[in-house]
Amino acid sequence: MNDDVRIPLSHQRILLSLYPHPTCKSTGYPGRNTMDTAALLERTGELIWGPWTAAVILLGGIWLSVRTGCPQLLGAKDWWHATAGSLLHRRERTDGISPFQSATAALAGSLGTGNIVGVALAIGTGGPGAIFWMWAAAIPGMAIAYAENVLGIRCRQRAADGQWTGGPMMYMRRLTGNGRLAAMWAGLCAAAALCIGNLVQVNSIAAAAKDAWSVPPWVMGAALCAAAAPAILGGTRSVAKLTERLVPLMALIYILACGAVIALNLPKLPEAMGRIFTEAFRPRSVGGGMLGVMLTGIRRGVFTNEAGMGTSVLIHCTAEVQDPREQGYWSIFEIFADTILMCTLTALAILTSGADRIAADAAMTAETFRCLFGSASGSFCAAATLLFAFATVIGWSCCGERAFAYLFGERATVGYRMLYVLLIIPGCVMDTGMVWAASDILNAMLMLPNLAAVILLWRRESEHCPVLSPKAEYL
């Protein structure tokens, strides 16, 4: 780090508040027991997300790429035309949730603070080469997302109110013949939505708002609660109507900001691209060498696009669509938008601005936008955090609600929605360090059984269903 250039303390606090160390409270310091427990959870998460997990994700994605006919690459023209291309044409109105609405709701859950700060942490931990491995993980990840969503559409059911309902629970039940694995996954998902999708996100917003604008956490909590309640209490359809407008807007603002930073530092773009590729295989001063860079990139890539976790399936299953492959295409587009587009723009903005040589980890992002916003870069990052994390809260509410409905029925979802909204205020003022520490474990517990179920069921069902055949024509 260059000692002659220092980042304002307020900027560092804003960005570090988004990804606090699991043993640190947002207000004060934890006791010894809390630190020991959080450290144990963090260490357990690191062990779970070791080389073997990365191998499972990559090999599973490669296997599914072959068995699905590699739609993410060979069918690129088709999925682009069916997703982004379809937005240029007039869409038919539907009483239910449209494919685009379900895609934006799913993107709301994955386009979170990971796109803002997660990339900076990946570069800080694994160097610029980690971005290459994020890309590498995204390609097989697209096949995983495609397969799980196609299976989700095939196994979904109509609820009493006429709305489609489904998710990994449905194809897990079909695979095993009983509901034990499905119920376990649904319970974990409902809990993860309350913790990772709600408490952690609103706490990040409150911490950033307090440092940037001196807004008391309880005030921000009340404001977030009032803003989120109408959509969340209205159910999946209300969430889809909100995300249909919010997600494209916030993505466009962030893309323009990153593009402006890159344009201001355009002569450094070739060097930045070169560092991504060269340091992917010849890392400089990175613990663990090439393996460390690879694991960092794959881990961050999975966390940012949620491929294989099954959470997006819960939302895509609500769409009014006939061909399962259409939602599979939208899931490919989501990973493209999340990892290939958004994360790449963030990385190039950081590298071209030289922020990675000046700041460390999360503070890179605030430093990146200083060339564009000057002293107001901290406020921009806080505003971006508010939008992205708020969208995550909204998107994850659908995931938790659908999982809860599987366990206790549709009527019980009213109580879950109310609990979800009421947790926003305490989430803004409480210590979420333990939740952060347990997030890696929760993510793995969602992903591993889901990925196994997708692979096993696809292998069995593809022998009898032409749509699942690798020789099936693209839409």
> Whole-angstrom Cα distance, residue 111 to residue 470?
30
Tens of pLDDT, residue by residue over 425-439, are: 998 888 766 777 777
**Average pLDDT estimate for 246-255:** 91
Strands (E), 88-177: 157-158, 164-165
Q: Which contacts qualify for 283-286: CB closer than 8 Å, 24 or more apart?
A: 283/126, 283/127, 283/129, 284/127, 285/127, 286/125, 286/126, 286/127, 286/129
The 3-state DSSP class for residue 369 equals: coil
More confident residue, 417 or 42: 417
**Average pLDDT estimate for 43-59:** 81
> Whole-angstrom Cα distance, residue 445 to residue 432?
20
What's the DSSP call for residue 158? E
**Predicted local distance difference test score (pLDDT) of residue 472:** 53
**Predicted local distance difference test score (pLDDT) of residue 464:** 65
**Which among 315, 329, 303 has a CA at the least distance from the CA of 403?**
315
**Which among 137, 446, 174 has a CA at the least distance from the CA of 310?**
446
Give me 11's structure tokens: 């900027």
**Average pLDDT estimate for 370-393:** 87
**Predicted local distance difference test score (pLDDT) of residue 179:** 84
pLDDT at 346 over 80: yes
**Predicted local distance difference test score (pLDDT) of residue 349:** 93
> Whole-angstrom Cα distance, residue 433 to residue 143?
33
pTM confidence score = 0.85
Bridge-based pairing of strands 157-158 and 164-165 is antiparallel
**Predicted local distance difference test score (pLDDT) of residue 126:** 78
**Predicted local distance difference test score (pLDDT) of residue 60:** 92
Backbone angles phi, psi at 467, to 5 degrees: -65, -30
**Which among 405, 98, 401 has a CA at the least distance from the CA of 236?**
401
pLDDT at 263 over 90: yes
**Average pLDDT estimate for 350-366:** 81
**Average pLDDT estimate for 119-133:** 83
> Whole-angstrom Cα distance, residue 367 to residue 354?
9
More confident residue, 371 or 216: 216
**Predicted local distance difference test score (pLDDT) of residue 264:** 93
Q: Where residue 152 falls among pLDDT bands split at 50, 70, 90?
A: very high
Q: Where residue 417 falls among pLDDT bands split at 50, 70, 90?
A: very high
pLDDT at 12 over 50: no
**Predicted local distance difference test score (pLDDT) of residue 204:** 84
**Predicted local distance difference test score (pLDDT) of residue 116:** 76
The number of C-alpha atoms within 13 Å of 312 and in the hemisphere containing its C-beta is 38
> Whole-angstrom Cα distance, residue 7 to residue 191?
37
**Predicted local distance difference test score (pLDDT) of residue 430:** 81
More confident residue, 109 or 355: 355
Percent of the chain with pLDDT over 90: 30
Tens of pLDDT, residue by residue over 33-50, are: 555 777 787 788 778 777
Residues ≥6 apart with Cβ < 8 Å to 318: 96, 97, 102, 163, 164, 165, 166, 236, 240, 398, 402
**Predicted local distance difference test score (pLDDT) of residue 4:** 40
Q: Where residue 471 falls among pLDDT bands split at 50, 70, 90?
A: low
**Average pLDDT estimate for 353-359:** 83
pLDDT at 157 over 90: no
Poorest-pLDDT segment among 171-175, 389-393, 438-442? 438-442
Q: Where residue 147 falls among pLDDT bands split at 50, 70, 90?
A: very high
**Average pLDDT estimate for 269-295:** 75
pLDDT at 82 over 60: yes
Measure the CA angle with vertex 217, ends 366 and 8; round to 5°.
25
Q: Where residue 292 falls among pLDDT bands split at 50, 70, 90?
A: low
pLDDT at 86 over 90: no
**Predicted local distance difference test score (pLDDT) of residue 468:** 62
Poorest-pLDDT segment among 222-226, 286-290, 315-319, 334-338? 286-290
Contact 112/391 with Cβ under 8 angstroms? yes
**Average pLDDT estimate for 101-125:** 80
pLDDT at 25 over 50: no
Contact 393/109 with Cβ under 8 angstroms? no
**Predicted local distance difference test score (pLDDT) of residue 407:** 93
What's the DSSP call for residue 191? H
**Average pLDDT estimate for 291-316:** 78
**Predicted local distance difference test score (pLDDT) of residue 294:** 73
Give me 459's structure tokens: 């292998």
Q: What is the mean pLDDT of the chain?
A: 82
What's the DSSP call for residue 1? -
> Whole-angstrom Cα distance, residue 97 to residue 308?
23
**What residue ranges do the domains of the chain occupy?**
9-20+33-86+106-461
Tens of pLDDT, residue by residue over 185-210, are: 999 999 999 988 898 889 888 888 88
Q: Where residue 344 falls among pLDDT bands split at 50, 70, 90?
A: very high
CATH code assigned to 9-20+33-86+106-461: 1.20.1740.10
